[in-house]
Amino acid sequence: MAVGRIIKALSGFYYVQSNEGVYACRGRGVFRNKKITPLVGDYVEFEVRNEDEGYIMKVKDRSNELIRPPIANIDQVCIVNAATSPDFHPLLLDRFLVLIESKHIQPLIFITKMDLATQEEIERVKEYQAAYQSIGYEVKLLSSEEPQRNSDVMPYFKDKVSVFAGQSGVGKSSLLNMLDPNLFLETAEISKSLGRGKHTTRHVELLPIGEGLVADTPGFSVLEFSDLEPEDLGVCFPEIRRHMPDCKFRGCLHDKEPKCAVKTAVNNGLIAEFRYQHYLRFLEEIKMRKPRY
Per-domain residue ranges of the chain: 2-60, 66-216, 230-288
pLDDT at residue 221, rounded to an integer: 60
- For the chain, the farthest-separated pair of C-alpha atoms sits apart, in whole angstroms, at 67
Q: Which CATH number fits domain 2-60: 2.40.50.140, 2.10.210.10, 3.40.190.10, 3.30.1390.10?
A: 2.40.50.140
pLDDT at residue 185, rounded to an integer: 39
Predicted confidence band at 147 (pLDDT cuts at 50, 70, 90)? low
27-86 per-position pLDDT tens digit: 887 677 778 889 999 999 999 998 889 999 999 999 999 887 889 999 999 999 999 988
Decide which of 238 and 195 is more confident: 238
169-206 per-position pLDDT tens digit: 777 777 777 777 776 534 444 444 544 434 445 678 89
pLDDT at residue 30, rounded to an integer: 66
Q: Does 230-288 carry CATH code 1.10.40.50?
A: yes
Q: Whole-model pTM?
A: 0.86
Decide which of 182 and 253 is more confident: 253
User: Would you identify the CATH topology of the domain 66-216?
Assistant: Rossmann fold (3.40.50)
